[in-house]
Amino acid sequence: MFVFCNKKQHIGSNVMVDEIESQIQQSKSRKLNLDKRKEALQKAYNFTNELPSDSIKINYYSKIAYEAENLNSEDLFKKVNSEALSLATKLRDTFKIGDAHWNYASFYSKKEIIDSIYFIITKHIKVLN
């Protein structure tokens, strides 16, 4: 299947991808305070929501969820990872489904919420079978 888009859409998507990458990099910068890093990650998420391609969106949702967990941005992590899991399921992308489950397991293990870890791992094993 081929997807055709006009040159303007393609250029707009490239600019948006560059901006998402830039915001994710800012969220990793230890030169910025924590609030600025979280703000950059929120911007990356907002730009990601505007992308036309679900297959590109899912990659950025995974990256943003991972970084949100690293920044202890619990609300953003839960929102983005939930969207990543939902989109991965829609796309039937088992690798990204597993990635989202892994993110949840890592998140809950840091919080030491053992029953949630067990639930996520059990769910992940069912996906793999």
Question: What's the confidence (pLDDT) of residue 128?
Answer: 57
pLDDT exceeds cutoff 80 at 7: no
Q: State how far the Cα of 98 lies from the Cα of 62, in Å rounded to an integer.
A: 11
Distance CA 74, CA 80 (A): 10
Q: Which residues contact 45 (CB under 8 A, 6 or more apart)?
A: 64, 76, 79, 80
**Burial of residue 66, with CB atoms counted within 10 A of its CB: 0-12 exposed, 13-18 middle, 19 or more buried:** buried
What distance in Å separates the CA atoms of residue 1 and residue 69, rounded to the nearest whole number? 36
User: For 70-110, what is each residue's pLDDT tens digit?
Assistant: 999 999 999 999 999 999 999 999 999 989 988 988 887 77
| Sequence spans of domains, the chain | 7-128
- CA-to-CA distance for 109 and 74, rounded, in angstroms? 13
The pLDDT confidence band at residue 119, using thresholds 50, 70 and 90, is low
Residues 100-112: pLDDT tens digits? 988 988 887 776 6
At the topology level of CATH, where does 7-128 sit?
Answer: 1.25.40
What type of residue is 45? Y
| pLDDT band with cut points at 50, 70 and 90 for residue 114 | low
Q: Are 61 and 84 in contact (CB under 8 A)?
A: yes
pLDDT in tens, 9-47: 444 678 999 999 999 999 999 999 999 999 999 999 999
One-letter identity of residue 108: Y
